[in-house]
Homo-oligomer: A and B are copies of this chain.
Amino acid sequence: MRYAVLAAGKRVRPILCLASCELVGGKENAAMPAACAVEMIHTMSLIKDDLPCMDNDDLRRGKPTTHKVYGEGVAILSGGALLSLAFEHMTTAEISPEKMVWSVRELARSIGTRGLVAGQAKDISSEGLDLNKVGLEHLEFIHVHKTAVLLETAAVLGAIIGGGTNEEIESVRKFARCIGLLFQVVDDILDETKSSEELGKTAGKDQLLGKLTYPKLMGLEKSKEFVKRLTRDARQHLQGFSSEKVAPLVALTNFIANRNN
């Protein structure tokens, strides 16, 4: 569990959670358990994605994948333990029991058949499909569920814990949805244009597995234009907040759009 979680990840989800909490006037400390919980769940999904019966990947976050080091059995058990530790750790947050129950429910929803698992299931059943027969909708279903939902949940949890109004939570949710899609489009572009060394994970993997990607469906240039549009849209959802409070999330958006790994 330590090996997988403490590897050099970008920590986009926890940062998003903490920054959303501060955006609505909350304190970073209050959102820390939720931020860690979301990173544990993200790591669990990476461990599973890399398994031989899934993407069968050897490299993650610049290191050999968990099952390569500890074997499949321990890797699968680590995933389950990280998932339950996420919920246990969430309950240590110093927030009202009402907010805690709300947060637990939001977190649980992002993992199962309406979240991560839906995306992963669709993903493994899509390998080798004829790209002429599946469209953008199919691709977006996978990405929304595999990536965007947990990013959205990270942000929403931050806003709930930070004491945001319903309207503020809704703005944060819309912002995070753009970020979620943005994150995946950039991921797809990087997989096609960067080396494994630069990425810290196996490059060109999507192509090899016959996976659907944005560059494949709309071409590299149009994908890059899409990145620009999503960046603009994301910022617009933050217009209701003061420019000072918005700064960390704008920086995060730019980081995601311009990252090299």
Contact = CB atoms under 8 A, between A and B. Distances in A.
A108 B84 contact: yes
Interface of A: 1, 44, 48, 51, 53-54, 71-74, 76-81, 83-85, 87-88, 90-91, 96-98, 100-101, 104-105, 107-109, 111-113, 115-117, 120-121, 124
A121 B77 contact: yes
A51 B80 CA distance: 14
A91 B120 contact: no
Contacts of A120: 77
A175 B120 CA distance: 41
B88 A105 contact: yes
11 contacts: A53-B72, A53-B73, A53-B76, A79-B80, A80-B117, A84-B108, A84-B111, A84-B112, A84-B117, A87-B87, A97-B97
Nearest to A41: B84
A120 B76 CA distance: 11
Nearest to A45: B80
Given A79-B80, A117-B77, A101 B97 contact: yes
B96 A113 contact: no
A51 B76 contact: yes
A91 B73 contact: no
A188 to B, nearest CB: 21
